[in-house]
Amino acid sequence: MSDPAAPPAILLRGLTREFRGRGAPFRALDGVSLEVAPGGIFGIVGRSGAGKSTLLRCVNLLERPDAGTVSVLGREMTALDEAALREARRGIGMVFQHFNLLSARTVAGNIAFPLEIAGIPRAEREARVAELLPLVGLEARRDAYPAQLSGGQKQRVGIARALASRPRVLLCDEATSALDPETTEEILALLRDIRDRLDLTVLLITHEMAVVKAICDRVAVMEAGRVIEQGRVFDVFTRPAHPTTRRFVAEVIGHVVPPGTVARLPAPNAGEERRLLQVLFAGPSSTRAVVSEASRRFGLDLNIVSGRIDAIGAEPYGLMALAAYGPPPAIAEAVDWMRGLGLDVAEIAGEDAA
Ligand SMILES: Nc1ncnc2c1ncn2[C@@H]1O[C@H](COP(=O)(O)OP(=O)(O)OP(=O)(O)O)[C@@H](O)[C@H]1O
């Protein structure tokens, strides 16, 4: 697992990349900085055009940034000459959305391909392929051609090929976007498994927050060439700060306040107010007892609008929306009291709340 105190495996500082066409230059990356801890699985999520692919390609310098620095495993990639860069790239594997397999080569031939390019002798290549086939569960398909494989099997070949030169860092470019949900789960499980076994650091880009929830420990959300929010996946899912992040999170775990709910809530009595509260608690316990006690203690009417219990990684959490009716000072006291019990309570706006 990642150790936040260790120096980063990938360190990006102030990356900017512009594309110049006939019109005004287009800034695909606009000052992106991030750090990936060794052993981490870091997800970059964003809509199409946000700059994810450009950013990923900057890590192994397939794309050269106009400004900023890229360091991988303590080596500043942006300062290397072509020969040193070729050598450094061997320590960085890459997995592609559309697999990029050579159709005229077998599974074994595809996996061995980067080793051939690197001039590794045949016996050594064969030994390495023999190690990689069981790692990705393809021993029985060694001599099959890509056309004879399922999408998931093709991606297993893509992963084995990426691992051939024993990289320490793996870049995944929408590695599961061409796969059905079941196969996606298998490939994500395989990525986690090889990260654990080979002590890899994984940086992946995806447009699906479900992928991030399934395997990442940290995430950065990109929009228009910038990182708009980043942090631990648990924190970003349970307390998204940016509206775009809230929409991404809601796609996976739903809205805390389902759209249309507020319009159906009763209006407060004269002299009272209605406040919508989001209550977050870590752990699988129910907060129902807290709600009824707060209601009694502070003379409030507390209406549970929605609630769910879920887990991110191994961390369970509960998230509940309450409509609190009563005099404003009593609502404020109840919020303080709940916070005193260790609950994370925030007032939310309603319809546009995530
Ligand atoms: N070689 C290029 N020349 C001109 N514009 C480019 C080039 N590469 C990317 N862009 C533009 O930069 C922006 C970011 O592209 P990028 O592929 O990095 O986004 P993305 O988030 O990966 O989206 P997608 O998932 O659609 O690939 C897009 O508007 C794209 O059109």
Whole-number Å distance between alpha carbons of 102 and 118: 17
Return the pLDDT at 353: 42
What the chain holds in terms of domains, given with CATH numbers, is 10-252 (3.40.50.300), 256-347 (3.30.70.260)
Among 60, 124, 65, CA closest to 93: 60
With cut-offs at 50, 70 and 90, classify the pLDDT of residue 350: low
pTM > 0.80: yes
Q: What are the structure tokens assigned to 61, written together?
A: 């310098």
Return the pLDDT at 287: 64
Best of 16, 27, 30, 53 to mutate for ligand 1, by most ligand atoms within 8 A of CB? 53
Q: Does ligand 1 come within 6 angstroms of the Cβ of 221?
A: no
CA-to-CA dists, residue 122 to 103, 112, 113, angstroms: 21, 9, 11
185-207 burial: b if 16+ Cβ within 10 Å, else e: bbbbebbeebbeeeebbbbbbbe
- pLDDT higher than threshold 70 for residue 84: yes
- pLDDT higher than threshold 90 for residue 22: no
- pLDDT higher than threshold 60 for residue 132: yes
- For residue 330, how far is its CA from the centre of ligand 1 (angstroms)? 52
Best of 52, 203, 204 to mutate for ligand 1, by most ligand atoms within 8 A of CB? 52
Q: Does ligand 1 come within 6 angstroms of the Cβ of 103?
A: no
Q: At what angle do helices 107-117 and 151-163 cross, to 10 degrees?
A: 30
* Residues 294/334, Cβ–Cβ less than 8 Å: yes
* Residues 219/210, Cβ–Cβ less than 8 Å: no
Q: Does ligand 1 come within 6 angstroms of the Cβ of 108?
A: no
Among 104, 111, 113, 182, CA closest to 145: 104
Q: Does ligand 1 come within 6 angstroms of the Cβ of 45?
A: no
Type of residue found at 332: A
Return the pLDDT at 2: 52
Q: What percent of the chain has pLDDT over 90?
A: 72
